Amino acid sequence: MSRPAPALRAVGALAGYELRLTARRGENLLVTIVIPAGVLLFFGTIGVVPGIDGRPVDFLLPGTLALAVIASGLASLGIVTAYERVYGVLKRLGGAPLPAWGLVAAKLAAVLALELVQVAVLVAVGAGALGWRPSPAASLPLLVIALVLGTAAFAGLGLLLAGTLRAEATLAIANGLFLACLVLGGIVLPLDQLPAPLEAVARLLPAGALADLFRAALTGAPNPVGPAVALAAWAVGAAALAVRTFRWD
């Protein structure tokens, strides 16, 4: 047996436990599944999204997919990791013969697995309750790209907060950013409906880019390159900063 294989299996085992722990923490399920699904159902049922052509669900489903990624990467992962540092779990794991990249890989794998559940729930709610049907122009590869880039960007931001701030500050800021993304991230409200200065700021943030990318993936809307580049820049920047600043204890 070659050397890397056991390390990868250790990463797999840890990812499985991360996922199991997420399922055991009610607050994680609330923020990652119930809130995005609730937002989709609520705004989709009211059926009013200002300034769009077509059906609200076609705008809201990609938006809430973005919200789900933000919830998993920024809010859930960031807050859980911050408290794992306080409780010494990170130090304990750091003492095991698992390289640092192994821990991060396990956490990201768990986040990606959780996101698959989120996608399934949101698509089920959209299709079952709101009559959403995939567009013939929808692109599965683009959906995967959006998931991966969005996860890198928001998990990077979450770990950046967790690695540099006190746990309480991480909790407050991650929740604040989550709310800001909901309002300013093009999730339930198109960005061009915002006041001009706010719109200018919002266009630079990763949430809007992620929502646009999901929209391009689901509806075949033209030109996903701009949002993809913006999101990739956030992904590289946040991940690099997170790696540089992260502390185990």
Partner 1 sequence: MRAITAEGLVKVYRTRKTEVRALDGVDLEVEEGTVLGLLGPNGAGKTTAVRILATLLKPDAGRATVAGYDVATQPEAIRRVIGLSGQYAAVDENLTGRENLWLFGRLYQLGSAEATKRAGELLAQFDLVDAADRVVKTYSGGMRRRLDLGAALIGRPRLLILDEPTTGLDPRSRIGMWDVIRTLVREGVTLLLTTQYLEEADELADSIAVVDHGKIIARGTADELKLQVGGERMEVVVHDRARTEDAARIMSAIGVGQASIDEHTRRVTVPSDGGSKRLAIVIRDLDEAGILIDDIALRRPTLDDVFLALTGHVAEEAPASTTAGRAA
Residue 123 interacts with partner 1 (CB under 8 A): yes or no: no
The DSSP 8-state label assigned to residue 131 in this structure reads -
Reference 41, options 121, 126, 133, 134; nearest CA is 126
Q: How far apart are CA 42 and CA 143, in angstroms?
A: 24
Contact with partner 1 (CB under 8 A) among 27, 30, 92, 169: 92
Residue 117 interacts with partner 1 (CB under 8 A): yes or no: no
Contact with partner 1 (CB under 8 A) among 47, 99, 131, 176: 99
Residue 98 interacts with partner 1 (CB under 8 A): yes or no: yes
Secondary structure (DSSP) of 52-110: -SS-HHHHHHHHHHHHHHHIIIIIIIHHHHHHHHHTTHHHHHHTSS--HHHHHHHHHHH
Residue 10 interacts with partner 1 (CB under 8 A): yes or no: yes
Q: Which is nearer to partner 1, 7 or 172 (CB)?
A: 7
Contacts of 197 (CB under 8 A, 6+ apart): none
Residue 87 interacts with partner 1 (CB under 8 A): yes or no: yes
Contact with partner 1 (CB under 8 A) among 82, 85, 108, 207: 85
Q: Would you say the C-alpha torsion 111, 181, 248, 27 has a positive or negative sign?
A: negative
Q: Which is nearer to partner 1, 51 or 99 (CB)?
A: 99
Q: Which is nearer to partner 1, 31 or 228 (CB)?
A: 31
**Interface with partner 1 (CB under 8 A):** 6-7, 9-10, 13-14, 17, 20-21, 24-25, 84-89, 91-99, 247-249
